[in-house]
A and B are shown apart, each in its own frame.
Chain A
Amino acid sequence: MTSAPLDHVHAAVPPWRDIRVLRIAVQVVVVALVLAIGFVLWSNLTASMGRSRLTFGLGFLDTTAGFEIAESPIQFSATDTYGRAFAVGLINTLIISVAGIVLATILGVIVGVGRLSGNWLVNHLAAGFVEVMRNTPLLVQLVLLYAVLLQLPSVANAVALPGSIYLSQRGLSFPRPVVGPTFGAWLALLGIGIAVALATRWFAARREASGHPSSGLRRVGILAMVTIPVVGWVALGAPISLDVPILQRFNFVGGIVLSPEFSALLFGLVIYTSAFIGEVVRGGIQSVRRGQLEAAYAVGLTPRQTLRLVVFPQALRVIVPPLTSQYLNLAKNSSLAIVIGFPDLFSVSRTMSNQTGQPVSVIMLVMATYLAISLATSLAMNLYNRRVQVLEG
């Protein structure tokens, strides 16, 4: 009987020292403790809500909001519902987050590469930028930037930048591309040009593989790719025109106008986050060992090929996880909009909470929404992360 001695051992262990019993007991105690705390808090909550005549429920979302929202990408007026006001805030937050993430990534890569530059000036400039951004609070940066934007000259004396971009107290005005009726035809020509270039390239590669020099053929392909769309652009009469902002008597007409609030929030978030992304990028590039570069050169890759085929794929593996948390931070930090008066999700919700007298429901709704945004972002980034990670084994 092989199991007899073991049975004997188990019988000798009293239940209060048996690891299997203890494990369950500890979990039961912890869960009971959490439930008890939750119950006390919940009963306090219902009691105090009863006293101050607050109620649960999201019924108020269907009632009339009665307040205006300064900036709204969808139609909104004071007669619309709270639900629509909430949607406006959510859309504003999403716009800021997406635009911010794209711009911060571009600027962040520039900063990160700049910190690794051999040019002393670029290197130290990037380092100084990163230190200043990382060691001052974002909120102070935002109010400072907003104060600077408000000190800009009035519309009549707007600062004109090249490309019909105007900076004034009313914000940033820049041209809006307008798609004309012939745009589809031009797109088709562009496609044909690219197709010709690809075809000649493939053909040239085949000829080269059989020992015929054919760089002239490649040049013809590239020429075709450039000339067909350019000629088409002229022939079709500019399929994309620019709606340029023009100074009328009181304000700019036409183009896109970004309000000072939007501009301050967007650029504040972009500049702040790009410093952190710069450090992430720098760390990622530096994590690729020197031997990898030497090996790449040794097998005859050009510097560009080395960068594209050896450095980037490996750096990306290191970069993506911390980059994800920077994206999440940017989305969460957009809630600071309230200080400069941009109507984002949190700002609109706070107004809703004050007006409806339903703070508990509103807070729960806001937190759930931010949580959903965070989870969606990290889900998307995790999928991407899985693609760039090395498959081992």
Chain B
Amino acid sequence: MTTPDSSMPPPAPAIGPVGWLRQNLFSTWYNALLTIVLVTLLVPLVALILRWILAEARWGVVTANLRLFLIGQYPFEEAWRIWLSLAVLSVLTGISAGIYGGATVRTLATWLAAGQVMLGALAAVSGLGSATTVALVANAAIVWAAFLAVRWRPRAMPRRLVGLGWLASIPISVILLQGIRGLPLPIVTSNLWGGLLLTFLLAIVGILLSFPFGVLLALGRRSGLPAVRVLSTAYIELIRGVPLVTILFMAAVMLPLFLPSNVRIDQVLRAMVGITLFSAAYVAENVRGGLQAIPPGQVEAAHAIGLNTLQTNRFIVLPQALRAVIPANVGLFISLLKDTTLVTIVGLLELLGIGRAVLAQPQWFGAQLEVYVFIAAVFFILCYTMSQASYRLETALGVGTR
């Protein structure tokens, strides 16, 4: 006969703060050891970093040069042209979100609106003038206004017009930003474009222009025609085998040589060509992944009902494949946004380039950490929010579950 052992300790608490600590930090002896070692290392480190951010860092270099960081040397009195081209983008995005209403466009619209409000707030605290803030916040409102207007009267807006609007938006923006002879807009040469403006411009132009090119390359790589397949594969592998800097360098140095002598092409355009050629290969590999995910039965069925190869691709394969690769392409856009920093090597003044230019001024000599930490923080906020949005997009589009 056994009596209950009264010397047994009560069971360990499994709920409450103590239970949480026990389960998550001190579950075994080596976890406890790891926790203690990490805490002793982390506490001084975090304290050091916090002290630097809050007390030691001289953030004056950032606030004093915020305009440079945002738009580079773009003349301030002409900056309304930037906000106006953003307004064009806002209208189009809002309308598209209203018409199509898909997760992708809605995410894009939300992001554009939130981004502009954030920029506006940044402008307000940095003394860029209240007009800038008002313009940016108004742009954010335009996104919603356009969205609501289309929702209210869906029939009033023909879809074809929206497509044309998107096509026209690139030349319109470029003309707005650069100015054109014959209009009362002073010309702002692209060597004055810089900062976040140039960063975004390079990334957006890069992804938009490389997309059709990349789709063609992906189709070419999976084509049944040997010559097409070999050419596409060779291009993709060649580009993916070399670093982006060498392509940018080639674009900067050799592109003028490849063109007839009467064609002048400025530095920004050269970088855009280089980035487009580069990212097309990566878009192609993304799209190829989407193409491979489509069961061969779909193509066979399409051929069986009498569609030819072009029609099969246009109506059956691409709509499904491109939907599947949207999250992957958001990822590509994020890495492209980060990669635009490389154009500073060929002498363009995007965000990092502007930072280095600021540091070259004698009064900001010792402020390298402040400038670089600021730039890293800007990129982190942009890229992190975008990557989170892309995770949500992935679930919304049902990639892999459909």
Q: Which residues of A contact B (CB under 8 A)?
A: 23, 26-27, 30-31, 34, 41, 44-45, 47-49, 51-52, 54, 117-122, 125, 131-132, 134-141, 143-144, 147-148, 151, 328, 332-333, 335-336, 338-339, 346, 350, 353, 359-360, 363, 366-367, 370-371, 374-375
Contacts and interface: CB of A to CB of B under 8 A. Distances in A.
B338 A27 contact: no
B341 A121 contact: no
Nearest to B375: A140
B257 A332 contact: no
B329 interface: no
26 contacts: A23-B225, A26-B228, A27-B227, A44-B258, A48-B261, A118-B27, A119-B27, A121-B25, A121-B39, A122-B35, A125-B38, A135-B380, A136-B338, A136-B380, A137-B379, A139-B341, A139-B342, A140-B352, A143-B356, A328-B241, A333-B243, A335-B246, A338-B345, A346-B245, A360-B257, A366-B246
A31 B256 CA distance: 25
Interface stretch (B65-73, B184-192, B247-255): B247-255
Q: Decide if the interface of chain A is mainly helix, strand, loop or mixed.
A: helix
A44 B259 contact: yes
A289 B260 CA distance: 60
Given A26-B225, A26-B228, A338 B35 contact: no
B15 interface: no
Interface string B247-283: 0011001101111110000000000000000000000
B257 A48 contact: yes
Contact of A144 (B39, B224, B231, B373): B373
Given A23-B224, A44-B258, 8 more contacts: A30-B228, A34-B231, A45-B258, A48-B257, A48-B261, A136-B380, A333-B243, A371-B241
Contact of A332 (B24, B242, B249): B242
Contact of B246 (A49, A328, A370): A370
B34 interface: yes
Contacts of A48: 256-259, 261
Contacts of B241: 328, 370-371, 374-375
Contacts of B369: 144, 147-148, 151
Contacts, number: 149
Contacts of A131: 384
Interface residues of B, number: 53
Given A27-B226, A30-B231, A137-B379, A44 B352 contact: no
A139 B227 CA distance: 38
In the A-B complex, the 4 residue pairs with the closest CB atoms: A120-B24, A135-B383, A137-B338, A374-B241
Nearest to B263: A44
B35 A121 contact: yes
A122 B38 CA distance: 8
Contact of A338 (B38, B245, B257, B356): B245
Contacts of A350: 249
A336 B25 contact: no
Contact of A140 (B250, B257, B334, B379): B379
B376 interface: yes
B344 interface: yes
A34 to B, nearest CB: 6
Interface in B321-347: 334, 338-339, 341-342, 344-345
Contacts of B31: 117-119
Nearest to B369: A147
Contacts of A375: 241
Contacts of A135: 334, 338, 379-380, 383-384, 387
Nearest to A42: B258
B344 A139 contact: yes
A251 B242 CA distance: 39
A137 B352 contact: yes
A353 B242 CA distance: 18
A328 to B, nearest CB: 8
Interface in B200-242: 224-228, 231, 238, 240-242
